[in-house]
Amino acid sequence: MSGWLVVAGLGPGAQTLVTPEVTAVLAQATDVVGYIPYVARVASRTGLTLHPSDNRVEMDRAQHALQMAAQGKRVVVVSSGDPGVFAMASAIFEALETFPEYLALDIRILPGITAMLAAAARAGAPLGHDFCAINLSDNLKPFATVEKRVSLAAQGDFAMAFYNPRSASRPHQFARVLEILRDHCEPQRLITFARAVSTPEEALNTVTLAEAVPDMADMRTVVIVGNSQTRRIGPHIYTPRSAL
135-174 residue pLDDT tens: 999 888 999 999 999 999 999 999 999 999 988 778 789 9
- Residue bearing the bigger pLDDT, 243 or 190: 190
Domain that holds residue 14: 4-113
The 10 Å CB-count burial string (b at 16+, else e) for 175-193 is ebbbebbeeebeeebbbbb
- Beta pairing, strands 131-135 & 159-163: parallel
pLDDT of residue 174: 95
The 10 Å CB-count burial string (b at 16+, else e) for 219-237 is ebbbbbbbbebbeeeeeeb
Same domain (yes/no): 66, 121: no
Quote the mean pLDDT of the chain: 95
Last residue of a domain, one of 94, 113, 132: 113
Last residue of a domain, one of 113, 139, 167: 113
pLDDT of residue 168: 76
The Cα–Cα gap between 120 and 43 comes to 28
Same domain (yes/no): 87, 180: no
pLDDT of residue 68: 97
Phi, psi torsion values for 39, nearest 5 degrees: -65, -35
In a domain, 244, yes or no: no
Same domain (yes/no): 207, 133: yes
The Cα–Cα gap between 18 and 113 comes to 8
Task: Say which CATH number the domain at 134 has.
Answer: 3.30.950.10
Same domain (yes/no): 232, 147: yes
pLDDT of residue 244: 62
Task: Say which CATH number the domain at 31 has.
Answer: 3.40.1010.10
In a domain, 101, yes or no: yes
In a domain, 52, yes or no: yes
Total domains present in the chain: 2
